[in-house]
Structure 1
Amino acid sequence: MSQLPDLVIAHGTVVNAFGRQNAHVVVDGGRITQLISATEPVPAAQRTVDAGGKFVVPGGVDGHCHVAQVTGRFRTLDDYAVTSQAALWGGTTTIIDFGIPRDAQETPLDAVLNKKRLAQESRCDVALHGSVVSWDETVPWQLEQLAAEGVRSVKMYTTNRGSTMADGDTILKVMREMVRLDGLTYIHAEHDPIITDCTGQHASDGRIGIEHLHQTRPELAEEISVKETLAMAEYTGAPVYFVHQSTPGAVDLVTEARERGQEAYSETCPHYLTLDDTVYGSSFPEWYACCPPMRSAETVAALKDRLAAGAIHTVSSDHSCYDLSQKRERTDDVRFMPHGLPGVETRMPVTFTTLVSEAGGSVEDFVEVFSAGPARINALPRKGAIVEGFDADVVIFDPAEQRTVDGGALHMGTDFSPFEGKTLNGWAAVVVSAGRVVLDGDGFHDPGPVGRFVARNGFTEHRDALSVPLSV
């Protein structure tokens, strides 16, 4: 008698970005081995989970997380054990972190290798982005070593002068190298001269506290930087991915570039789809210290329209786990505050509520920006779809389930959430990561440090190898 498979998820509505079907999902050895029509009997297994009346979707891929991040004198309060568990609570089964040099003494290669060592404590799968701040003759070799390690993307900042900012020459040269290595260039796009001048003007007027953050970083700074970076990407032929776009104008520039044939992608974050700049006039404006800042209500509404229209390719958390004591050290001067918000655990319900419940998008649209798009664009093998042979990363959720966010009850290692008090739909009920049930009605079952480092494929290699049903 043959051995029973490890798990069957029975009677669910399986939703991929390319369609849905009522099916039993058979899992064995950490992989999806079969999808059987729900009209057929449930096959025997060592464990069966009933998903009747619920959606079964691919585990989330969060392409933009900062774990144990050191920025100046601040360090986020999490580690991989904490952040990966919070990710799993929120239906995300793969995170992509950044190896960003802490200072001029840490090389891009060293930064990635350090994060790879730290990631051995992760409970979910982990991939990594590299980062280059300044160019020297060793950078091409370092990027080759990163590619050999399975790190096929490099992030650069067009702002943050004196810390993480890369100048135009560096960005152009790195783009050329990423084309050579079949990689992807990530860009934090804000025009540094405009931001530096605007922030300086506000400081001279005494309007530099957290309540003025949104005024110090105008929308124009983001859009001009996107336009300039797209020109460099067109010149070099480099695929380019813009993180945390907060304005419809920035998204439209990417759309226009794609219409010209460029490989360009837009990411946004849950907070830019949900919160507007009135939060800086609230009782706790420090809860919303991030860059770019929240935008006007009109901008938020237009950004949601772009998401609903399919112009935004991924929704990532930009998770950065500071706590309120760190945030409150320098609320008097945004230049010295730690910027970034905790969000890896709430990405699923905020995205689902915004895109499906409010904007009328389909569950397939949600799967695309939550899982399938991030997996495909970041060239992650066997991620982002419930199909035979893919990793058994699966989430069961009820779209009608509502919960009100209580930051203190979340699991991200901090004491607040920017979504505090918001009622959201679509929380994870059961989470299967690499074939293990880590969350169910009995609570969270810590699998220990079993997360794997995921080596990524080349960008065009992965794109060209995908079968038609996984395309959108």
Structure 2
Amino acid sequence: MSILIRGGTVVNADREYSADVLCADGKIIAVGENLRTPASAEIIDAHGQYVMPGGIDPHTHMQLPFMGTVTADDFFTGTAAGLAGGTTSIIDFVIPNPQQSLMEAYQTWRGWAEKSAADYSFHVAITWWDDTVHADMGKLVRDCGVNSFKHFMAYKNAIMADDEILVKSFTRALELGAMPTVHAENGELVFTLQQKLLAQGMAGPEAHPLSRPPAVEGEAANRAIAIANVLNTPVYIVHVSCMESLEAITRARSKGQRVFGEVLAGHLTIDDSVYRNPDFDIAAGHVMSPPFRSKEHQAALWQGLQSGNLHTTATDHCTFCDTQKAAGKNDFTKIPNGCGGVEERMAVIWDTGVNSGRLTPSEFVKVTSTNAAQIFNIYPRKGIIAVGADADIVVWDPSATRTISAKTQFAKGGFNVFEGRTVRGVPTHTLSGGKLVFKEGDLRAVAGDGKHVDRPAFSPMFDALKQMAKVTAPHKIQRS
């Protein structure tokens, strides 16, 4: 069956205009005014609404084994919740255990993701190094559609990548045409501060942000960017939460370095006062890393998004219920790190960005969809309303409102960091692969409907950078 979206305003990253959109066989097959209605087409009346590319969340953790437990949302419930909020694609993370084969871990995550209701892809984390990791990175790029590798500079004694691993992995990524991505926090400093705070008797959630101050994030971001600069490798910094990291990105970009920044909807809208809430469940429910920051950091992050030094908005969707969070009741370092948001990201960014005048509708599309598609090399298959693109579409009512609550959300976990926030601007319809999967509150997601999206290696840009790396490599000293 085909679907005709009639009478809306199409919004892409470059412009908005009045047009109908016709979808069939999972693709957009026509865009234009007064399109003829096929006999069997279902019609969506979009008058007074925007028709935009489905959101791409480039940072989620569905069904993640972490800190001795597993996230509440699996690949079905998490992607279904995303569809209800207008997000039609996610990029999740394969995180091998130290000494585990990358290919083995990847196959495990692919198996879990078979139940996904929306399209998905993966970053693969580099948590250790030897020759097999080097070889597996090649297999993942050539055979599995992976073009990005994650590096955790935090979580000492678990999955932390030291400088040696960064150098070797960044170098290999450049050879393969893959993008290194980085969780920038100095793991040694975090560990030291955690032990110091516990020794001082600070064991509650209020100690969490004190153990991960902005300087800890800024140092790691600067170090990762410096390593990438020496190696002539692009780098993508995930969940930038503070001025110090943003300044490192801005400074590098002003000198022509290819550095990309991601910001979470939560870091743009929630401040660190949540950790001082006397209710443990509420304070612990907000424990994630990096933590939420003060309002001055929020203002800086908005400026980074507006200026183009931050490029994508994500959620780090990683849900845990209150009984899981309670594992850290007497020791904040044992609270599973993670919050939700895949269902709310689009509406929260629209309400606080577009409604405030910080972003135009086209800029909203850019930071919620198009930039992610371009940075991770799936554009124009994703991230645009155009003939030939996947029919991943959200119809958006800019005047409708919704009050966010854990009681009404589709995501699991029973907690919502945006609890009680009323947003203006919400999806009325979501199409995924040409199927109507959300209609005016009715979620019609089907387990297994999502498809893995292969992301090709980058060729032209990386070829140029590899040539630069050869030119700038230290010359051997000739001895007589």
Q: Deviations over 1:143-173 (max 9, x none)?
A: 0111120011110111101111011100110
Contact 1:273 1:304 survives alignment (8 Å): yes
Residue in 2 aligned with 1:420? 419
Of 344, 347, 360, which aligns to 2:345?
347
Structure 2 letter corresponding to 1:244 = H
Residue in 2 aligned with 1:24? 20
Contact 1:307 1:355 survives alignment (8 Å): no
Q: Deviations over 1:375-403 (max 9, x none)?
A: 11111250000011100000001122211
In the TM superposition, 1:312-351 aligns within 5 A as: 312-351=310-349
Residue in 2 aligned with 1:468? none
In the TM superposition, 1:220-369 aligns within 5 A as: 220-282=215-277, 283=279, 284-369=282-367
Q: Distance in 2 between matches of 1:461 and 1:118?
A: 34
Q: Deviations over 1:121-146 (max 9, x none)?
A: 11110101111111111111100111
Residue in 2 aligned with 1:467? none
Q: Distance in 2 between matches of 1:461 and 1:68?
A: 35
Q: Deviations over 1:79-99 (max 9, x none)?
A: 111111111111111111111
Higher mean C-alpha deviation, range 304-313 or range 181-190: 304-313
Q: Distance in 2 between matches of 1:463 and 1:22?
A: 38
Structure 2 letter corresponding to 1:30 = G
Contact 1:10 1:42 survives alignment (8 Å): no
Q: Distance in 2 between matches of 1:325 and 1:442?
A: 29
Q: Deviations over 1:349-408 (max 9, x none)?
A: 111112111243101111011000111111125000001110000000112221111112
Q: Distance in 1 between matches of 2:104 and 2:59?
A: 20
Q: Distance in 2 between matches of 1:152 and 1:360?
A: 32
Deviation at 1:463, TM superposition (A): 9.6
Q: Does 1:70 align with 2:65?
A: yes
Q: Pick closer, same or farther for the CA change 1:77–1:448 going to 2, 3 Å.
A: closer
SS of residue in 1 equivalent to 2:247: helix
Q: Which runs of 5+ in 2 are unaligned?
A: 464-480
Q: Pick closer, same or farther for the CA change 1:335–1:41 going to 2, 3 Å.
A: closer
Q: Deviations over 1:167-202 (max 9, x none)?
A: 110011000111011000010000122222222221
SS of residue in 2 equivalent to 1:340: coil
Q: Pick closer, same or farther for the CA change 1:460–1:206 going to 2, 3 Å.
A: farther
Residue in 1 aligned with 2:382? 383
Of 39, 43, 47, which aligns to 2:37?
43
Root mean square deviation of aligned Cα: 1.6
Of 94, 107, 110, which aligns to 1:116?
110
Of 69, 86, 93, which aligns to 1:91?
86
Structure 1 letter corresponding to 2:100 = E
Contact 1:8 1:26 survives alignment (8 Å): yes
Q: Distance in 1 between matches of 2:99 and 2:459?
A: 33
Q: Does 1:180 align with 2:180?
A: no
Q: Distance in 2 between matches of 1:210 and 1:33?
A: 51
SS of residue in 1 equivalent to 2:398: coil
Deviation at 1:329, TM superposition (A): 2.2
Q: Distance in 2 between matches of 1:316 and 1:108?
A: 25
Deviation at 1:110, TM superposition (A): 1.4
Deviation at 1:461, TM superposition (A): 5.0
Contact 2:262 2:313 survives alignment (8 Å): yes
SS of residue in 2 equivalent to 1:120: helix
Residue in 2 aligned with 1:470? none
SS of residue in 2 equivalent to 1:229: helix
Q: Distance in 1 between matches of 2:154 and 2:100?
A: 19
Structure 1 letter corresponding to 2:285 = W
Residue in 2 aligned with 1:170? 165
Deviation at 1:210, TM superposition (A): 0.5
Q: Does 1:132 align with 2:132?
A: no
Q: Distance in 2 between matches of 1:432 and 1:421?
A: 27
Q: Deviations over 1:255-313 (max 9, x none)?
A: 22122222110001011011111111123211210011111122112222222333210
SS of residue in 1 equivalent to 2:131: coil
Q: Pick closer, same or farther for the CA change 1:400–1:311 going to 2, 3 Å.
A: farther
Contact 1:15 1:363 survives alignment (8 Å): yes
Contact 1:304 1:359 survives alignment (8 Å): no
Q: Which runs of 5+ in 1 are unaligned?
A: 465-472
Q: Does 1:146 align with 2:106?
A: no
SS of residue in 1 equivalent to 2:407: helix
Q: Distance in 1 between matches of 2:361 and 2:325?
A: 36
Contact 2:56 2:90 survives alignment (8 Å): yes
Q: Distance in 2 between matches of 1:459 and 1:23?
A: 33
Higher mean C-alpha deviation, range 66-75 or range 219-228: 66-75
Residue in 2 aligned with 1:403? 402
Residue in 2 aligned with 1:34? 30
Contact 1:376 1:463 survives alignment (8 Å): no
SS of residue in 2 equivalent to 1:214: helix
Contact 2:311 2:367 survives alignment (8 Å): yes
Q: Distance in 2 between matches of 1:360 and 1:152?
A: 32
Residue in 1 aligned with 2:475? none
Return the TM-score normalized by structure 2. 0.92
Percent of matched pairs sharing the same residue: 32
Deviation at 1:73, TM superposition (A): 1.0
Residue in 1 aligned with 2:4? 8
